[in-house]
A = this chain, B = another copy of it.
Amino acid sequence: MEQEPYPLVILGGGPAGLTAAIYAMRAGLTCLVIEKAVAGGAVFLTDKIENYPGFPGGILGPELSQRMEEQAKSLGAEFLQDEVTRVELEGNLKLVKLAGGKTVTSRALVVASGCQPNRLGIPGEDKFYGRGVSYCAACDGAFFRGAEVAVIGGGDSAVQEALLLSKLAKHVHLIHRRDQLRAIQVLQDAAQQAKNISLIWDTLAQEVEGEDQVKAVKLLHKPTGQKRSLPVEGVFIYVGGKPITGFIRHLVEMTPEGYIQAGEDCKTSVPGIFAAGDVRKKPTRQIASAVGDGCNALKAVEDYLLGL
């Protein structure tokens, strides 16, 4: 016998998805959250979070994740641990195909599957993640006040985050594999004018070194083959990111980088499919703005289910 479709299925159990679930349950909409790993998404993997409002002194990532999950669960949201392989349409219904073989049917769908920063793939990068290695200066920069830090990359994000770090850290070493930055000119100018940013050209980061915490990054100067160890306490890596959208790429409009095209109202190009959180094309990828998305997406879901 076929199961009644859910009014709402949410793909992803990070802050955007969990917020959408909280708002759904409080609006009397039964919802199912599908998450392939643990609730909290990237937040679960974060050590200390100081910038999510409501937690003076900060909170650990796993604790915040757990609190949000518990909140959604206590309001009655259902959870399923499985991986989404593909979303298909059948009339107005959304069919969510799962790696476990099941298909879940829903009237509205919130895609909140997040985004993974690209890794350099060098030794020490994983080991020191959260202990000096970071992919987000806006999240972690404040932990490096007065320290020497390295930023790896040469695009807009890398340079902008180097500028942010330059206000906090003692010195920022911007390490780029080419002999010029890809970032827009005004950012390049600002970086070159900043007294405590040094540009290190034609150089690859080869290893993150340390004991408990990061102590240095090993560099290779490509033209000369010279190697050296640069003493730093922080290594910020900005070599792009991958939004997790493979399962829905064939359906909704995307940016060339693979983010889902949707405005602040979270509406995608397909009626009844909404994008919330890091997976959406948006100005910031932060917990604070992800919960904003979850809330806005639910407003759009309610409007959609009312036929507005």
Q: Which of A97-146 contact B (CB under 8 A)?
A: 138, 141-142
A147 at the interface (CB under 8 A from B): no
Question: Which of A64-72, A81-89, A199-207, A244-252 participates in binding chain B?
Answer: A64-72
Contact indicator B23/A51 (Cβ below 8 Å) = yes
Contact indicator A18/B307 (Cβ below 8 Å) = no
Contact indicator B71/A53 (Cβ below 8 Å) = yes
List of B residues within 8 angstroms of A141 by Cβ: 26-27
Contact indicator A168/B51 (Cβ below 8 Å) = no
Q: Which of A165-191 contact B (CB under 8 A)?
A: 167-168, 184, 186-187, 190
Contact indicator A27/B265 (Cβ below 8 Å) = no
A59 to B284, CA, bound (A): 27
Chain B residue at smallest Cβ distance from A166: B28
- The contact of A295 among B19, B22, B74, B284, by CB within 8 Å, is B284
- The contact of A64 among B54, B59, B142, B300, by CB within 8 Å, is B54
Given contacts A141-B27, A264-B283, contact A53 B186 (CB under 8 A): no
Given contacts A51-B23, A292-B289, contact A284 B307 (CB under 8 A): no
Chain B residue at smallest Cβ distance from A169: B28
**A residues apposed to B, CB below 8 Å:** 15, 18-19, 22-23, 26-29, 50-57, 59, 64, 67-68, 70-71, 74-75, 138, 141-142, 160, 163-164, 167-168, 184, 186-187, 190, 263-265, 282-284, 286, 288-296, 299-300, 302, 306-308
